Amino acid sequence: MPTVVEAEITGTVWKIEKQVGDRVARDDVLLILESMKMEIPVEAPCDAAVAEIRVSEGESVEEGAVLVVLE
């Protein structure tokens, strides 16, 4: 069953650290959000593979937006 990773805050996607197909371990940084001039890492909640990246660098996202899908 896929696992979705959602934005915990409103911000801008500053940098995407992983690509579709990459294997990640729990707590690996998937991407970095910028909000209120702070960089906030978004980490993998489990060991998985990156199935989808639904955002791009520079994109503004709202709290709750799906950023990444892991399988």
The ranges assigned to domains in the chain are: 3-70
Q: Is the pLDDT of residue 69 over 90?
A: yes
Q: What is the pLDDT of residues 18-58, one digit of tens each?
A: 999 999 999 999 999 999 999 999 999 999 999 999 999 99
Contact (CB, 8 A) for 31 and 17: yes
Nearest to 64 by CA among 14, 9, 22, 3: 9
Q: Which residues contact 13 (CB under 8 A, 6 or more apart)?
A: 31, 32, 33, 34, 55, 56, 57, 58, 59, 60, 61, 67
pTM score, whole prediction? 0.94
As beta bridge partners, residue 63 has none
Q: Which CATH architecture has domain 3-70?
A: Beta Barrel (2.40)
> What one-letter code names the amino acid at 60?
S
